[in-house]
Every structure is written in structure tokens, then in C-alpha cells.
Amino acid sequence: MSTTFHLFPLLPPEIRHYIWHLSLTHDRVIRISCDRGILPTSRRYARCFRADCPNPPQLQVNTEARQVALRLYAPYFRTEHQPHSCIYLSPDQDVVHLHEAVLAYLSTVEKAALQRLMIDIQDYGTFGSYWMDSLCSMEQLKEIVLVVLPGALSPYRVYDQLPVEDSDIVWLLKAAFVEESSCVSAILIAMKVIIVGGGIGGLATAIGLRRAGHRVKIFERSSFLHEIGAAINICPNAARVLSHWGFNVELARMVTARQSIVAVGSSLKPLAEVDCSKCDEVYGAPWLLAHRVDLHSELQRLATARDGPGIPAEIVLNSKVVGYDASEGYVTLADGSVYGADLIVAADGVHTSAIHHVNGRATRPVATGSAVFRFLLSTEDLPDDPSLEPHFGDGLMRIMAAEGVRRLVWYPCANNTVQNFVGIHPDQDSNDHEQESWDRSANVDDVLAQYHDFHPSILSIIRKATNIKRWPLLYREPVPTWSRDRLVLIGDAAHPMLPHQGQGGAQAIEDAGALSEIFTQLPAEPTADEIRDRLAVFERVRIKRASAIQVTSNVGQDEAWKIREHAQQYMPEGVDVPTSPSEFMEHNFRYDVLQDSRQHLEAFLSKS
């Protein structure tokens, strides 16, 4: 027997998943800036480069890891004030993203080594006069992406110095490189977009708007981009959007839901069964079960990978947004810096301050008298109990119910290697002023007290639980509008939902899908009125549907009578509120937000 002690298996599953995520390699698009304004001919000139991502961590682990890393990475962009400060690159793999003016500060070392460049063009004339020759002299270049920013072409169109068609502009840029034109591509940026919050909704929006030809910058308040929580349902209405964007289900280690069983908690006797295996056939997309870390990692890859449509989204960490100017399109960070954009998307959750700038005030949370326990268990750690065998299976979801609101939901994720447990229960201690947080801890005794009369095999599972989280279920009324001028709310910032429908994440993805379609076919330089009109189209697509699901999420699918009157005002004309699980599946799953958004955009453009 081995006497080696390994700590890794003892870590909570969500921590193990995050470590696994960090170990993955990712294509890097490195944005490099330089303090400029002093000409290289001046005695005061000194290069001072900065990168938006840290040097590879392998360089700092230990001597052996550093030696291996140095076979791939080499130091470039040395700063003259600090000779030992540099940026480590793999020139044949990493894409270096620069503003055109930074080309003046490249040394012969960088010019001789760089192979993949992305250049922001702020002024078409200046680029052609000053920087084109510099690029053409870089003999190692294999890939050049020219990012034409909004306003770069306008002065030259006025004097008929450029053709009006954007496709002709791309041809002119490529033609300037003559023999090298095959490695050159040009992207014309329609809008600058700021997204506040790097969670599921924020990253999904970044993917959609990147694909639509916009330049996206995400401000995330935390020091490292990650998703907390456990597992999540990606129902067909959201899976359809992700599939359209090229989401890789295998990389995200998702499990396809195949069957849902409702059983009596005390005896595990089945009460109802739903066949989920045909969702792809019936609704055009599968029902997926995912660990949030895995989902978040794949969304981040699609948002920032260099090989996707458009230019990669930029993620800025440690950046808390504390102020908004909706009319002018500015956000203010906690450090006092101000950033502007054509469109600002607030995707920073239920406690967003942006809602005050849209509606004047936030909606008041109302205690429902219920709370949720949540924990994960490794599949291999489940008790060896014959009575549990009928409840195992690839993609099997189980809902064990008791009198009142007590339910224990159990389903797999992460390629069936992790089991997710969600316990909804009455909690008279919760109140309107309690903080909504997934990071609040609970202990095993708390959970056992709520489910003491459940089957012994379920109690044996609960006893193995570690790192249990608890949060109160607080309800918020739908808000009448989600946007003002250049600012729009999405996801939990617009429509926070309770977990009964499993649609919280799906509705955020629907928001992202709608924005990605509605902000296409824009004029060359969209005005504030154009942005406002497009957001009005977005609200027509989204508010009533999301509000209906927000209200129906207050109860289980077998309790629709409790919210029928309240939800009916948000249903489409002539459509009744669903009253059974099958009707809820039809209402929630069949809807195609991409198609609906295209139809609304077409109607808008036909009237313009």
C-alpha cells in the first residue's frame, strides 16, 4: 500500500473543478499598451509596456517548471525604467493586440520576432501614412488582423477618399500588403460595448456581441474570473443559443438529461416520470446538466479565443463599477477611472446599482418563507447502498418530495463524476432584509433536521456532505423597463428568479441571444437614438417572456394555481399560463429567441 498522502481528493468538488480549469491551456490574445506622448527622439523618452494578462504561471512555480516554460516563452517588450520587467510571449502561438500608435515603440527585437498581430486602427489615413510600412517590414508575420474602430473611416468618406461599401475598405487594407495579403484580415467594429459583470450572462453577451462585430470590454469586480455555485440546468431554449455560437458540450463536460423522476421522499416510490431523452428531437436542442465552473470556462473560451468570429472580448479584473452615465455612455470604476462605450450592459447580478439609473430604484426583496441548501458530492463518494441503484443513471434527475415545500433535487454533472443536490425547504427565519448569497455556510445537522423523515439511503448521502451552502429565497417583482438611453440590464440584474423552473441561467442566455441579433445591420456610426430604438426592440422581445417565467419560478410546476392570475398579464395574447410539467416544458423549451429577435429586427428595419 502506498504511504503517500494526497490532499487533492479531500478538497471540495467545486475547488477541484476550479484547479482543473486553471491547469488547462488557452490560446492567448495579449493586449499590450505603452505610455506614449513623448517621441522616441526625446531625451525623456522611455518605453513602459503593460499587458492585460499576467506572465505564464509556470514561470513562477519552481525551477523545473520554469525551465520547461522557457522552451515555449521568451521575454519581449522590456521596459526601460525597469530592465528586468518584460512580457513573456510564445511568438508563434500568442496574438499580440496593439493600438496602431504603439507600433512606433517596438524595438528591432519585437519586430523580428512577432508573428501574429491584431492592430486597432483609430484613423485610416494615419495608419496608411505612418504604420503600414512598419508592418510590412516585419518579416515573420504570419497573421495580421486589422481592427477598424468606429470613426476611423468617417473623415475620408466625407471627401470621397474611400468607397462607401465596407467590403471595399477590407479589400484596400488587404491589397496594401501585396504578397502577404493572404494572411491579412480586417474587422470593422460597429460599436464599442462595455459589459459589467463576468458571470454567465455577461460572458454569453460578450460572445453574441463579439460575433455581431462589436468590440467588447468586460469589467469584473473580482480578482479572478470564476463562477461560484454548483450545477445548473441548460434547458433547450438556452442550449439552442449556445449551439448556434459553437459551444462545445464535450469540453464543458455536460451531461444530457435523459429522464426525470418525481418520488416520495420517505419511500422513494415513483410518482411521475418524464422522458427527457427526446428533447433534441422535439425541441431542436438537448436538455443539458452542467457544473457552473465548466459552463463558465467554455463561455470564457468562446468570448476570448482568438479563432472565433470578430475580435476577442477583453476582460478586466479587479474593476468594480460604481457609477453610470446612461445618456452619454460612461461607467466609472472604484479607482476613479472613466470608460465610454456606445452600449453598456449591466450583467452584475441582483444587487446591481445600474437598476437605479434605469428605474430610479431597486425592487424590494420579499421573503418567501423558504430557503435552499446546496452541496456537491463526488460520484465515487456516494454510499454503497443497493436501495440507491434505481436512482443512478446517466442523465437521471430525481426530485424527492414531502409535504409542503420540502424537496430534494438530485442530478449529475461533469460527465457524471459529480452529483449535485439542491434542498428546498421552509425557513421561517428568513426575512426581507436577509442578504442573498450563495457563500453562506450550513452544516450537516441543519440539512438532516429538514429531511429527517426521508428514506435512510438519502440520509446516508446527506451525512457525507461537506461545504454545504444555504441561501434564502427572496422574490422580486418584475420591473417595467430594462433600459435607459445607452444602458441596459440583463440576467439577474433585470429579472432575478427563484429556482423552481430551473430557468435563471437560461433566461440570461436568452437575453444575450436577443442582443446579439438585434444589434446587427447597424449603420456605419450608430447614433444615441439608434441605440435607444434597438433597446426598445430588445425589450419588446424579452420583458414579457422573462417576466412570465420570473413569476412562474415562484412555485413548483405542480403548484401553478398559486401564481396563475399574476403570471397571466405577461403571457402572449391568447396563451394561458402552463398548469402541468408538460405544459411548462412546451412553454419554456420550444421558444426560439434567435428567430423571434430576427423577426422583430426585420419589422423594425422595415419601418425605419
C-alpha cell at 454: 426521508
Query: Rounded distance, CA 227 to CA 2, Å?
Result: 35
Catalytic site residue from 16, 253, 374, 476: 374
Residues 6+ apart with CB under 8 A from 17: 291, 293, 294, 414, 418
For residue 20, give the amino acid letter: W
Output the pLDDT for position 371.
93
The cell numbers describing 224, all together, are 479572478
Do 600 and 541 touch, CB atoms closer than 8 A? yes
Strands laid side by side in the 407-413 sheet: 270-275, 259-264, 396-401, 407-413, 418-426, 366-378, 468-475, 441-442
Q: Quick one: which of 299, 87, 235 has its CA closest to 581?
A: 235
Q: Is the dihedral of CA 597, 599, 601, 607 positive or negative?
A: negative
What's the pLDDT score for residue 605?
Answer: 95
Residue with cell 417572456: 545
**3-class DSSP state for residue 319?**
coil
What is the distance of C-alpha 124 from the center of its chain? 33
Residue 135 has pLDDT above 90, yes or no: no
What's the pLDDT at 41? 57
**CB neighbours of 384 closer than 8 A, spacing ≥ 6?**
none
Catalytic (active site) residue 45: no
In this predicted structure, what is the pLDDT of residue 224?
Answer: 67
**Among 255-269, 450-464, 482-496, 559-573, which stretch is predicted with the lowest mean pLDDT?**
559-573
Residue 558: its pLDDT value, please? 67
pLDDT at 176: 55
Amino acid at the residue 209: L
Cβ neighbours of residue 422 closer than 8 Å, sequence gap 6 or more = 230, 372, 373, 374, 408, 409, 410, 499
pLDDT at 249: 96
Per-residue pLDDT at 11: 63
Cell of 279: 428533447
Mean pLDDT of 514-543: 94
Q: What is the mean pLDDT of residues 50-70?
A: 77
Helix (H), strand (E) at residue 322: strand 321-325
Decide: helix, strand or coil at residue 424: strand
d(CA 98, CA 36): 13
Overall average pLDDT of the 573-586 stretch: 90
C-beta contacts of 600-606 below 8 A and 24+ residues apart: 600/518, 600/537, 600/540, 600/541, 601/517, 601/518, 601/520, 601/521, 601/537, 604/533, 604/534, 604/537, 605/521
What average pLDDT does range 509-524 have in this prediction?
94
Three-class SS of residue 481? coil
Query: Which residues have a Cβ under 8 Å from the Cβ of 41 and sit 6 or more positions away?
Result: none
Architecture of domain 192-242+314-364+477-606: 3-Layer(bba) Sandwich (3.50)
Residue extents of the structural domains in the chain: 8-151, 192-242+314-364+477-606, 366-475
Residue 482 confidence (pLDDT) above 90: yes
Question: Would you say residue 236 has pLDDT above 70?
Answer: yes
> 411 catalytic, yes or no?
yes
Query: The cell 427563484 sits on which residue?
Result: 498
Q: What is the 3-state secondary structure (H, E, C) of 130-168?
A: HHHHHHHCCCCCCEEEEEECCCCCHHHHHCCCCCCCHHH
Please tell me the predicted confidence (pLDDT) of residue 10.
61
Q: Say what the pLDDT of residue 12 is.
A: 64
Residue 118 — very low, low, confident or very high, per pLDDT cuts 50/70/90?
A: confident
Nearest Cα to Cα of residue 93 among 65, 118, 73: 73
Q: How confident is the model at residue 227 (pLDDT cuts 50, 70, 90)?
A: low
- What is the rounded average pLDDT of the residues 520-524? 85
| 146: phi then psi, degrees, rounded to nearest 5 | -100, 115
Q: What pairs with residue 375 in β-bridges? A: 421
pLDDT of residue 129: 73
Per DSSP bridges, beta strands 441-442 and 314-316 are: unpaired
Q: What does the block give as the cell for 241?
A: 443559443
CA 54 centroid distance within chain: 21
Please give the angle made by the CA atoms of 353, 359 and 360, to the nearest 5 degrees.
75
Burial (CB count <10 Å: 0-12, 13-18, 19+), residue 57: exposed
pLDDT at 374 over 90: yes
Q: Where do we find the cell 433597446?
A: 535
Residue-wise pLDDT for 383-428, tens only, equals 888 877 777 778 999 999 887 779 999 999 999 999 999 999 998 7
Q: Do 192-242+314-364+477-606 and 366-475 show the same overall fold? A: no
Name the pTM for this structure: 0.81
Per-residue confidence band for 26, with pLDDT thresholds at 50, 70 and 90: low
Provide, rounded to the nearest whole percent, the portion of the chain with pLDDT above 90.
Answer: 50
Helix ranges, 318-374 (H): 354-359
- Determine which of 212-216, 467-471, 562-566 has the lowest per-residue pLDDT on average: 562-566
The more confidently predicted of residues 239 and 101 is 239
What pLDDT sits at residue 410? 95
pLDDT at residue 133, as a whole number: 75
pLDDT tens-digit map of 152-202: 666 554 444 444 444 445 555 555 554 444 567 766 777 999 999 999 999
Amino acid at 399: I
Per-residue pLDDT, averaged over 560-572, amounts to 84
Average pLDDT over every residue of 310-316 = 90
**Across 117-129, average pLDDT:** 80
pLDDT exceeds cutoff 50 at 24: no
What's the pLDDT tens digit per position in 264-290?
A: 999 999 998 999 999 999 999 999 999
Largest CA distance in the chain: 83
pLDDT exceeds 80 at position 443 = yes
Going by pLDDT thresholds of 50, 70 and 90, the confidence category of residue 431 is low
Tell me what pLDDT residue 427 has: 86
Of the candidates 411, 451, 475, 570, the residue annotated as catalytic is 411
Q: Tell me which fold the domain 366-475 belongs to.
A: D-Amino Acid Oxidase; Chain A, domain 2 (3.30.9)
Report the chain's mean pLDDT, rounded to a whole number. 85
pLDDT at 159: 42
In the predicted structure, residue 1 carries a pLDDT above the cut 50 = no
Q: Tell me the C-alpha to C-alpha distance, in Å, between residue 281 and each of 246, 278, 462.
A: 19, 5, 36
Strand partners, 263: 270, 400
Write down the pLDDT at residue 523: 83
Q: Residue 81 has what pLDDT? A: 58
Q: How far apart are CA 134 and CA 130, in angstroms?
A: 8
Q: By mean pLDDT, which of 199-213, 274-288, 561-575, 587-601 is the weakest?
A: 561-575
Angle at 220 (CA atoms; ends 215, 225), nearest 5 degrees: 105
Please give the average per-residue pLDDT across 198-209, as a whole number.
Answer: 97
Judged against a pLDDT cut of 50, whether residue 553 lies above it is answered with yes
Q: What is the mean pLDDT of residues 113-125?
A: 85
pLDDT for 82 = 59
pLDDT, position 332: 96
CA–CA gap between residue 178 and residue 171 (Å, rounded):
11
Per-residue confidence at 458, pLDDT binned at 50, 70, 90? very high
- DSSP annotation of 569 reads T
pLDDT (0 to 100) of residue 164: 42
C-alpha 599/C-alpha 608 separation (Å) is: 14
> Does an H or E element contain 16, and which?
helix 13-23
Q: Residue 461's pLDDT is what?
A: 95
Nearest to 292 by CA among 216, 233, 335: 233
Asked if pLDDT for residue 75 goes beyond 60, the answer is yes
Q: How far apart are the C-alpha atoms of 602 and 597, rounded to whole Å?
A: 9
Pick from 226-240, 477-491, 512-526, 594-608: least confident: 226-240
pLDDT on residue 165:
47
Q: Looking at residue 244, what is its pLDDT?
A: 97
> 87 near 55, Cβ under 8 Å?
yes
Given a contact cutoff of 8 angstroms between Cβ atoms, the answer to whether 295 and 193 are in contact is: no
